[in-house]
Chains A and B, each alone.
Chain A
Amino acid sequence: MLAVNGLSKVYTGRGRRVEAIGDLTFTVEGGSFVCVVGPSGCGKTTLLRCCAGLLPPTSGTVALSGAPVTGPPDGLAVVFQEYGRSLFPWLRVADNVDLPLRAAGVARAERRDLVTEALDAVGLGDAHQAYPWQLSGGMQQRVAIARAIAYQPRVLLMDEPFAAVDAQTRADLEDLIRSVWQRLGVTLVFVTHDIDEAVYLSQRVIMLTASPTRVADDLVIDLPAERDQLTTRSDPRFTELRGLVYAQIQKAKLEGRTR
């Protein structure tokens, strides 16, 4: 579904050459939930931007359902970490969710239904008329998620979407995103630096090395599909998987330092 092949990205400028991504190859099956984790500064965001068609890679390719990604592809949505900057402050919540649908030429009645459904799904059914800045950070990120849901993408990319919200809100949003994924059957690539979050959320964790980034390891998360914050996190298998990912990331960090 989403195929990353020999991807590399080198930033040049002011006489400095920074190899952000060394050589990345992996595929994400259609409809699966994959988390990408790596030490901080390992080019996770660069990878996501290349996948979204927002940044041209230096070499290698990204393909979505076989079609090479050269610009933002159809049927792909991104939820950014900076929710405060990805919502239009001059548009009300409902209009924020509605705008991509208007751009896609969806009929008015259908748009209204999609917007209502999406906002209900994230628990903001009563916030249609509010402005984003009248909401808390967690609620703003819910609006961004609702916008992605209403857009009905085949692939949803999320760039550390919960990094800037408090722990309690974060747990709620994690469960929200699990249920959204299960309901929509969307392919979900979720970038995070939080190992617990990666293991709790996904079916598969791709671990990256420090920059220049390669795939360090690829781990299937064989936890039951029904997850909740209490039982899943106290499951011995969860602790075990978490330990595996943690060890791998530590190793990647050390290698990054000695290089």
Chain B
Amino acid sequence: MTVLRRVVLALGLPVVLVAAWWFASAGSTDFYFPPLATIVEVFPETWFGSRLTDDVLPSLARLGIGYAAALLLGVALGIVIGSNRWVRATTEPLLEFLRAIPPPVLVPILILVAGIGDTMKVLVIVSGCLWPVLLNTVEGVRSVDDVLADTCRTYRIRGRLRWWHLVVRSASPQIVTGARQALSVGIILMVISEMFAANSGLGYSVIQFKDGFQIPQMWSGVILLGLLGVLLSVLFRLVEHRVLSWYHGSRTASEEP
């Protein structure tokens, strides 16, 4: 019952909006706003053919690689910076500056450095995804509980065990928050990196369709990007649920009197 209710609540508004779009656009003769029926009709032939392997999957692969690299780098650097007061004091102003640079302006620079291939696109994604992960990890590491840290000291829990069971696990709620922000940044940058000097990818395809006046196909690309975003955030939630089950459990437990 509750599961059913949640599904209905989650899908209700989208269904209403799609229906509204469907009927409002039906019979539209506006070249730039074709009927939704037409967009849906061209969707399979546009994306489930060779474009799936030539554009969609390469885009997702670059997103996956860039996102994973940013996670690893962000968590590793975040732990180093967060664990040491001096390192933190020296690097924090610089980090704030670097974070404030909008990643798209780095695209021309990265093209100069890394060319127009996959490396550049992955680097663009990393350059945007890194900051939320890094800064949240620093915060998470800083907030390690004193009593728990003392517990580790008295029981001589050191090295790898301390690193994992005290530092990483303590910071994990914040790391997950950073990773969630990074995921949405990553999807945006995946598209943007393909709009400059690219020859494949989802962003490239949408621009191609626009330039070729294939408007229904262009719209179908926008819809596909939206659906991918939803799919990735659902996957993220599943992973989060596993990784942070202790956190949600303990929060619920402490809220009950």
Contact = CB atoms under 8 A, between A and B. Distances in A.
Question: A and B: partners?
Answer: yes
Interface of A: 49, 52-54, 71-72, 74, 76-78, 80, 82, 85-86, 88-91, 99-100, 102-104, 131, 133-134, 147, 151
15 contacts: A53-B153, A77-B155, A78-B151, A80-B147, A86-B147, A88-B165, A89-B247, A99-B161, A100-B156, A102-B161, A103-B157, A131-B250, A133-B249, A133-B253, A134-B249
Given A85-B148, A100-B155, A151-B155, A133 B161 contact: no
Contacts of A49: 150
Given A72-B156, A74-B156, A104-B156, A86 B148 contact: yes
Nearest to B246: A90
Given A88-B165, A88-B169, A90-B169, A103 B156 contact: yes
A31 B254 CA distance: 38
A101 to B, nearest CB: 9
A90 B247 CA distance: 7
Contacts of B150: 49, 52, 54, 78, 80, 86
B154 interface: yes
Contacts of B172: 90
Contact of B165 (A52, A54, A74, A99): A99
Contact of B158 (A86, A103, A147): A103
Contacts of A72: 153-154, 156
Interface in B145-204: 145-148, 150-151, 153-158, 161-162, 165-166, 169, 172
Interface of B: 145-148, 150-151, 153-158, 161-162, 165-166, 169, 172, 246-247, 249-250, 253-254
A99 B151 CA distance: 11
Given A91-B165, A133-B253, A100 B157 contact: yes
Contacts of B145: 85
B196 to A, nearest CB: 43
Nearest to A74: B156
Contacts of A147: 155
B161 A89 contact: no
Nearest to B157: A103
Contacts of A80: 147, 150-151
A88 B150 CA distance: 12
A69 to B, nearest CB: 12
A103 B250 contact: no
Contacts of B161: 99, 102-103
Contacts of A104: 156
A54 B154 CA distance: 8
Contacts of B250: 89, 131, 133
Contacts of A99: 155, 157, 161, 165
Given A54-B153, A90-B169, 6 more contacts: A85-B147, A86-B150, A99-B165, A103-B156, A103-B162, A147-B155
Contact of A78 (B154, B165, B249): B154
